[in-house]
Amino acid sequence: MLDIRGRLDPTAESVRSPTTLRMDDRPMLRLIALLLFSCFILLPVAEADPLRAHEDTEARPSDSLSQEEDQSASSSWFRYPAASQGQHAEAAVLIALPPGYQDVSSRRFPVLYWLGQDAPAAMRRMTAAMRAGDMPPVILAMPRLEPAASAEQTAQTIAQDLLPWVDRHFRTLTTAGHRAVEGVAEGGLPALTLAVRQPELFGALSAIAPRLPSAGESAALWQQIDHQADALWRAESHIRLVADAGNPSEARAVAVLADHLQAQGIANQAQALNLGAVGFERALESMGADYFGFWREALRV
């Protein structure tokens, strides 16, 4: 039998009790145990990070997608610092990398910021279209919308916090002509606010069934459009507005918005479709190839 120091002990019938260890042996044993425990804990974390090869070490994957959601794209939820909303504020975003992102390490891609309530479902539909060649390959950035945040706050967080974070951590094309925003339902007004206020950042806007303010509350939006009319015209911004024909008040509000833009010399594509409760899914079915064709033209791919 070997004693704890590896020496043969011919008189021992069993391993000695730990109480017989010398005091100077115990720190070394504790160090070995700590190293083994650290390896056991850290190895699964490294394996569970699918995007580690494509982003800076500051980006922290969070709320991992289920296997079913992760099959269609290299995607994960991340938390990013939202300093515009407070010193220690954070926000969440779903990032989906396009087909081909891993193939050429030097290739850069346009970015589509998508604002809506069902980001994983929209991500699956759009990445499937990319693989089929119907939609150009783009990085999808889908921030989680906070119900308590106003359109102004959401737009501020995206422009000041999320956009530079995405450009730092992923291989993006950073000109306005390669950056777009789409808002669906509650995401429509923040998307409009972003595109109208900062055409130097976003070269394309799509708003589907947007929840626009009432006529009496629209003054701020109209003022922003009037103030930025020249910049929007010079930027040749691509604007698509899709209203739910089954919602008369929404359809009227979108028509008024389209007319106001047109009066300022800002071209836009406006239409009304029967979208029902599933606005984005129905819009894809109704618009067909035109939905993806808009992105091919707007993102200049």
pLDDT in tens, 244-287: 998 998 899 999 999 989 998 899 999 999 887 666 888 888 88
Q: Are residues 134 and 36 in the same domain?
A: no
Reported as a pLDDT band with limits 50, 70 and 90, residue 108 is very high
Residue 227, both tokens: 């103030």
Nearest alpha-carbon partner for 76 in 123, 122, 118 = 123
| Predicted pLDDT of residue 35 | 61
Q: Are residues 81 and 224 in the same domain?
A: yes
CA torsion sign for 228, 190, 284, 124 is positive
pLDDT tens, residue by residue, 6-25: 444 444 444 344 444 444 55
Q: Are residues 4 and 104 in the same domain?
A: no
Reported as a pLDDT band with limits 50, 70 and 90, residue 26 is low
Q: Are residues 98 and 27 in the same domain?
A: no
Q: Are residues 73 and 38 in the same domain?
A: no
Q: CATH number of the domain at 75, please.
A: 3.40.50.1820
Domain boundaries, position 17: 1-47
Q: Assess whether pLDDT exceeds 70 at residue 225.
A: yes
Q: Are residues 7 and 119 in the same domain?
A: no
Mean pLDDT, residues 133-160? 94
| pLDDT mean across residues, the chain | 79
Dist CA 65 CA 252 (whole Å): 39
Residue of 88 and 144 predicted with greater confidence:
144
What is the count of structural domains for the chain? 2
Reported as a pLDDT band with limits 50, 70 and 90, residue 29 is low
Q: Are residues 108 and 152 in the same domain?
A: yes
| Predicted pLDDT of residue 73 | 52
The beta strands (E) that lie in 42-175 are given as 60-62, 74-81, 90-97, 111-115, 139-143
Nearest alpha-carbon partner for 110 in 183, 177, 201 = 177
Q: Assess whether pLDDT exceeds 80 at residue 2.
A: no
**CB-based contact 186:210 (threshold 8 Å):** no
Q: Are residues 6 and 127 in the same domain?
A: no
Q: Are residues 131 and 214 in the same domain?
A: yes
Mean pLDDT, residues 196-211? 93
Q: Are residues 6 and 116 in the same domain?
A: no
Q: Are residues 113 and 131 in the same domain?
A: yes
Q: Are residues 22 and 135 in the same domain?
A: no
Per-residue b or e along 49-66, where b marks 16 or more CB atoms closer than 10 Å to that residue's CB: eebeebbeeebebeeebe
